[in-house]
Copies of this chain bind each other. A is one copy, B any other.
Amino acid sequence: MTGSAPPQSGDDPLVIAYITAASKADALRIGRSLVEERLAACAKVLDGMTSVYRWEGRVEQADEAVLIAKTRSRLFDRLAARVRELHGYDTPCVLELAVGRGNPAYLDWLRAETA
């Protein structure tokens, strides 16, 4: 896991799940469940986001929070399904971002903490 070869090129890549929620409390509730169930190694919540989107033909604005969950690629579909169960929205934003290289010890920790 050391040296310049990407540690992610193998058979167990890691991903970031980018999720939005209606409030910091809601994001923390979802993130805590994902960590408790080992669907994510950690969950980070950023508060104070303003969202702009079209709804029924009008451009609306609302306060939201971001939840960044780190997990294995192979767990992403289960994580996304669980977020849909836990979330207050009908169509929550859950998007996968591929992780490339990383601090090798941290990548090991992410894998150890996920199911």
Contact = CB atoms under 8 A, between A and B. Distances in A.
Interface of A: 3-4, 14-16, 18, 20, 24, 28, 31-32, 35-36, 41-54, 59, 61, 64, 66, 70, 76-77, 80, 83-84, 90-103, 105-106, 109, 113
B96 A100 contact: yes
- List the number of copies, as a whole number: 3
A76 to B, nearest CB: 6
Given A46-B46, A50-B45, A59 B35 contact: yes
B44 A66 contact: yes
A48 B48 contact: yes
Given A92-B103, A103-B80, A53 B41 contact: yes
